[in-house]
Amino acid sequence: MSTSVRNLKPAALWNYFADLNHVPRASKKEEKVIQFMVDFGQSLGLETKTDKVGNVIIRKPATKGMEGKKGVVLQSHLDMVHQKNNDTVFDFDTQGIDMFLEGDWVKAKGTTLGADNGIGVATIMAILASETIPHPALEALFTIDEETGMTGAKGLEAGWLNGEILLNLDTEEDDEIDIGCAGGLDVTATKSYTMHRIDHSACTGLLISVKGLQGGHSGIDIHLGRGNANKILNRLVYDLESLGLRLFTFEGGSLRNAIPRESSAVVSIPVGKKNDVLDILNNRKHDIQKEFMSLEKNLLIDWSEVESPIFVMDMEEQKTLLKAIYAAHNGVFRMSPDIKDLVEASNNVAKIEVKDGQAKILCLTRSSVESSKTDVALSLRSCFELAGFDVVFSGDYPGWTPNIHSPILEVLTHLYEKMNGQKAHVVACHAGLECGILGKNYPEMDMISFGPTIKGAHSPDEKVNIPSVEKFWNFTCAILQDIPDKNMNE
């Protein structure tokens, strides 16, 4: 890892971020980072606990003169999305993230950076360790598994937290103050299918690949219209079916919350149709690249000859599968009629795995309105069940309803304008934040979310803006000094 990151300002924050990025912390595999955080809290002599699901809570008493202020919960999640480029050799379980500087940005070499939500975690660590930053009584809440189910937030029981205000440090534009977010629901469609032996000596095998897409966060970036590798690949395979294409495997995407950047299929085509197939592929490649020209400049559609498979999917089942993938909604489903430019509901066709007689399709449906979230999910269920799939809903979590009368919102908006000479954008986002879930057990807690500028989250293009981190740090420290008194009339 480049030591240049450790020389950035504020030094404490960046050094804790560098330390954190040495620790493997994939969702649902957080054992090492939980222990890392427990050791950190105990090394400071602070009360440090873990709950039954693995969340870590560190408490720090108020500094002198701040005892009469409302208690504050500083909250970020420990896990990060582990994604890498196909040509990057990297083991997330053993290697630290390899960071480097490029202009005003910190990036990682061929992998996700972990700024989501590592910058928030590092900020809280620096505040806990500081002996000079004035603050009220603090509870640092480090949740687990935010990225793949929010099971940490869901598992946090009532009574663990005493603070009256929660500052969630997990949004990604430094001029925004977030007061609401979307809820989410995992949709999983599975199906067994029959495989038939073919005369592979009369066939040519092709490996068809879609690569080079930007991908990104399936909530924050879904409105940008970026290419979905699974949907693009399905278009190609679907168009070739009339020429006798037979499907062997179809594999693309990885995580539900990441727009798929790469997808590939191994197919068999009749030898006599090879030239016709290649002509169609060339034409479709040209059409699709032109279609995405302004968005996906590095889109690569490629194919190469491979040994023809001996077994392929049953033809009728293949037709049904490809039609189902085609019909499954991907992208924005509805824009909010109430909040300008906010995506209300969407779906990400995140991962497809078709091989060895089993087909599996993973989607993540999001909405800030529960009824429209259900509507999208049921439309997907209908599509897949018509194609003979078994469909399961799981991982349901609620959205966070905006409160424009929030007392802490008034503190933040006033302070932001005072510090920056302009007003912050008060927004709701289409990502899933933990505030809505935490609010179930702590309904009286006043919650707000903000963060530095992070681009490309959930993809190997992830980067964090260096000046915005310092801006975010100064803002956070100033907020802690401006927390209202406990007896203030709200």
User: DSSP letter at 258?
Assistant: B
79 is catalytic: yes
- CA 469 to centroid of chain Cα atoms: 20
Condensed to tens digits (0 to 9), the pLDDT of residues 347-374 reads 999 999 999 999 999 999 999 999 999 9
Q: Do domains 3-181+400-481 and 185-397 have the same CATH topology?
A: no
Condensed to tens digits (0 to 9), the pLDDT of residues 455-490 reads 999 989 999 999 999 999 999 999 999 999 997 654
Per CATH, the architecture of 185-397 is what?
2-Layer Sandwich (3.30)
CA distance 292 to 208: 18
Secondary structure of residue 280 in the 3-state scheme: helix
Dig out the tokens for 364 from the structure.
């993540």
Dig out the tokens for 298 from the structure.
């590095």
| CB-CB contact of 216 with 224 (8 Å) | yes
Exactly one of 116, 146, 147, 462 is catalytic; which is it? 146
CA distance 318 to 244: 11
CA distance 160 to 157: 6
Dig out the tokens for 246 from the structure.
């037979």
What's the full length of the chain, in residues?
A: 490
Residues 6+ apart with CB under 8 A from 86: 211, 262
Residue-by-residue DSSP string for 353-399:
EEETTEEEEEEEEEESSHHHHHHHHHHHHHHHHHTT-EEEEEEEE--
> H or E segment at 408?
helix 407-420
pLDDT tens, N- to C-terminus, the chain (490 residues): 457 999 999 999 999 999 999 999 999 999 999 999 999 999 999 999 999 999 999 999 999 999 999 999 999 999 999 989 878 999 999 999 999 999 999 999 999 999 999 999 999 999 999 999 999 999 999 999 999 889 999 999 999 999 999 999 999 999 999 999 999 999 999 999 999 999 989 999 999 999 999 999 999 999 999 999 999 999 999 999 999 999 999 999 998 999 999 999 999 999 999 999 999 999 999 999 999 999 999 999 999 999 999 999 999 999 999 999 999 999 999 999 988 899 999 999 999 999 999 999 999 999 999 999 999 999 999 999 999 999 999 999 999 988 989 999 999 999 999 999 999 999 999 988 999 999 989 999 999 999 999 999 998 999 999 999 999 999 999 999 999 999 765 4
CA distance 185 to 396: 4
Backbone angles phi, psi at 216, to 5 degrees: 115, -175
For tokens 């995407």, the residue is 253
Q: Across the beta sheet with 105-108, what order do the strands follow? A: 99-102, 105-108, 463-465, 454-455
CA-based nearest residue to 166, from 444, 423, 404, 403 = 444
Q: Which fold has domain 3-181+400-481?
A: Aminopeptidase (3.40.630)
Q: How many CB atoms lie within 10 A of CB 228?
A: 25
Residues 6+ apart with CB under 8 A from 138: 59, 60, 62, 71, 72, 73, 74, 127, 128, 163, 480
146 is catalytic: yes
117 preceded by a cis bond (ω within 30 of 0): yes
User: How far apart, in Å, are the Cα atoms of 151 and each of 76, 155, 156, 373?
Assistant: 14, 6, 9, 19
Exactly one of 30, 79, 434, 462 is catalytic; which is it? 79
Domain ranges of the chain: 3-181+400-481, 185-397
- pTM for this prediction: 0.83
For tokens 């500087």, the residue is 101
